[in-house]
Chain A
Amino acid sequence: MSKRVLVVDDSVFMRDIIKDIFAAGGFSVVGEAGNGVEAVEKYKELKPDLVTMDLVMPYRNGIDATREILRGDAKALVVMCSALGQETMVMEAIEAGAVDFIVKPPRAEDVLAVVKKVLGES
């Protein structure tokens, strides 16, 4: 059974790119969220195997959302999506419990390599 992924990003464009990467890699994207608040709700509702989380989003940023998701489910696997120059924020997210990170613009092989490692599939 393919692993279920929730994609969180405030940019539809970015979500589409990430969704396509996952589809090509044999994952099933079960949900999307455009901000941190939505992300937390969707996570509770869908219980995905993995979340990709943007850092800077309206209403609630990715770090806070990650914290909240992990508070509800300590085993949640959250992978941060960062841009160059956001190193400090990513490290903060890792402190908050994020398991790994991918760098924008996302390259299919990098994203899949990270996600497979995180899911213990490689």
Chain B
Amino acid sequence: MAAQWDTSRYLSLFVSEATEHLDALGKELVRLEGGVTPEAIDSLFRHAHSVKGMAGSMGYDPTTALAHSVEDLFERVRSAPARFDRAVADLVLQAVDALGGHVKAANERKPFPDNTALIAQLKELTQSLRPGTTPLPSAPPANAPLLETAGGPESELPPRWLVTLRVATHSAQPGVRGFLAYKRLASLGNLFRCTPSLDEVKAGRLPGGTFAVELESTEPEAAVAKTVSQVADVELVSLTRVASAPPPPAPEETKGTEPEPRVVGQEPPRTVRVRTELLDEFLDLAGELMLATAGVREVGRSLQEELRGRLNETTDRLHGLVRGLHDKVMKARMTPVSVITDRLPRAARDIARRRGREIELILSGSEVELDRAIVDELSDPVLHLLRNAIDHGVEPPEERRMRGKPPRGTVKLSVKRASDRVLLEVEDDGRGMDVERLKALAVERGLLTAEAARDLPEREALMLSTAPGLSTAASVTDISGRGVGMDAVKKAVEAVGGTLEITSRRGLGTTFRLSLPLTVAMVNLLLVGLGDDVYGLPIAKVAGVVETTRASLAHSRDVPVLQFGASVVPARELSAVLEVPGRPHDVAAVSPFVVVDTDDGRVALAVDALLGQEEVVLKALTRPLDQVPGLAGVTVLGNGRPVFILDVARLERPNRLPAVGEA
């Protein structure tokens, strides 16, 4: 059957959805070790069931078989939650990993791994949890396609009704009427297959005023009819018993073509998946629009006064709209940090078990949002910091006991918003770093002279741990030693415009503090020349450029002002603003004035030359340059030349803004 239709176009959806379910499964399993509730088991069951359903639809029989054995196990655990223990969790986690392998294989169009042994183990465990009375039905061969109707649950399903309703044509708000009826039915049980979809119903798009929905409910027929009769302007057209669908026991269906099969009241916020690249393109386009707007303004300069005024008014508005669009696109790229942190409890558990540590991982602030690109880049570094904390930070339980610490170590991962940055901290209460040993190692490797090492402040000495090839670990373990090292962590953090800081107290623990920008560090720059130097002004902050002579500037209360569109803006020498020596200029010569938006309003900056536009990656400044006010960062141009990017928003400080001519 599966061969009859082309499944390949569903592959990416399968991969992303199955991965989501497996991630959730792993996460919830780990959480379950803290205490089992029937709801939690139901949720696990649903994830396994969804994966099975999807794999079945794709024709992935081995995947279906594996997911089915996991589902069976949960089915059994559901009736005996007390039997859920570490052994169950361990085996299921193994199965989740194996399923992850299947998804990966599917994605790469490689053959599925063989999990016959694992399936056998799952079945054995399932059987051992059986209350004992009934014999296990003969297990289907692992690689054979599995049928959904596995006997048991069918009879336990509540009856299913096909309810067809008509909303009176004279109804003032037919959509709301339909929704009300839907909602009332939902109070009786679970709803499936609303036709047309619930969204259509809500919008009042009801062919002939009717819609139909399947209701799974234990309520008698009369009660269903009565419920409908209590909704004004809604008439029950028909109520017929239909065959119960193969499980889902949960109010959720993955099959069929319904976009809206969920029960009202539990609807998640409406979302749509968008490829990250598409958002990148949106961002590019928004940037281009901004430039085009500036171009229109430029053209306007050759127009007559009256026309120019009107055009400028429109371009101002356009500029505002485009900037709004840019902001919205940026916002759409924001992703909660939970995308990274959700899998950490699972990882922490694995690392701790393998290293013989006992740890408690405390996560906070995972809802804080960052630009998708940053979140993507941080995934591995954060995992490494966690490994590091458990592997090198937290001591083994006996050692902790000897030191008078609780045997179970604590690793805290907290995320906080701090004005326009996000702070991510990984803190452990382990043994801390040995600063002297780090220094000694650095000297030994020739990274430092003995004198320099002696004078090195602790804060900087700790940063030695991020130097390539430097580690105080006695041995490279299979966990922390693989993949990224601390040098890679530091590189990754800096690549997205962030900074890394370490604090550590011997015997008490270590904290890694990542300070990250909120948004992706790509900026469109207008490059301007000042003497021999080049500076970058973020285009987003540039309102326009006017070329005129200094002599032609008007004055308002002794401050030179530039006519810009319908308004006048104060004019400054950029060199004076930056407190760099400016070259003498001829007041009669034409100079470009870049009009920028600062937090304190518009200002026109006189520069020596306009050098063009470039999209660049913003790099954070490191000490001591980060102390210089007015600089937002630095970038390296295509020709290898470093360029400072001005923090335009905060440029205008009254005390450091001499007007044109004063400098």
Contacts and interface: CB of A to CB of B under 8 A. Distances in A.
Interface centre among B172, B175, B179 (most CB of A within 10 A): B172
A94 B178 CA distance: 12
A101 B183 CA distance: 13
Contacts of A87: 173, 175-176, 202, 204
Interface string A17-54: 00000000000000000000000000000000000000
Interface string A82-110: 10100100110011000011010000001
Taking residues whose C-beta sits less than 8 angstroms from the other chain, chain A's interface range is 10 to 19
A100 B180 contact: yes
A11 B478 CA distance: 73
A58 B233 CA distance: 31
A114 interface: yes
Contacts of B180: 94, 100-101
Contacts of B612: none
Contacts of B125: none
A117 B231 contact: yes
B176 A90 contact: yes
Contacts of B135: none
Interface string B361-379: 0000000000000000000
A118 interface: yes
Interface in A56-100: 82, 84, 87, 90-91, 94-95, 100
A95 B183 CA distance: 8
Interface string B39-60: 0000000000000000000000
A82 B230 CA distance: 19
Contact of A114 (B179, B183, B232): B232
B181 to A, nearest CB: 10
B265 interface: yes
Contacts of B118: none
Nearest to B175: A87
Interface in B139-184: 172-173, 175-176, 179-180, 183
B610 interface: no
Contact of A120 (B175, B202, B230): B230
Contact of A82 (B173, B179, B204, B231): B173
Interface string B178-197: 01100100000000000000
A84 B174 CA distance: 11
Contact of B183 (A94, A103, A117, A120): A94
A40 to B, nearest CB: 22
B559 interface: no
Contacts of A120: 230
A12 interface: no
A100 B204 CA distance: 16
A103 B233 CA distance: 13
Contacts of B233: 113-114
A100 B232 contact: yes
Given A114-B232, A117-B230, A95 B173 contact: no
Given A100-B232, A117-B230, A95 B264 contact: yes
B232 A113 contact: yes
Contacts of B264: 95
A86 B5 CA distance: 44
A110 B173 CA distance: 12
Contacts of B183: 94-95
Contacts of B172: 84, 103, 110
A53 B179 CA distance: 19
A68 B555 CA distance: 61
B230 A101 contact: no
A87 B230 CA distance: 20
9 contacts: A82-B173, A87-B176, A87-B202, A95-B265, A113-B233, A114-B232, A117-B229, A117-B232, A118-B230
The 9 A-B pairs of least Cβ separation, nearest first, read: A103-B172, A114-B232, A117-B232, A90-B176, A113-B232, A87-B176, A91-B179, A117-B230, A94-B183
Interface of A: 82, 84, 87, 90-91, 94-95, 100-101, 103, 110, 113-114, 117-118, 120
Interface of B: 172-173, 175-176, 179-180, 183, 202, 204, 229-233, 264-265
Given A94-B179, A118-B230, 4 more contacts: A91-B179, A95-B265, A101-B176, A117-B232
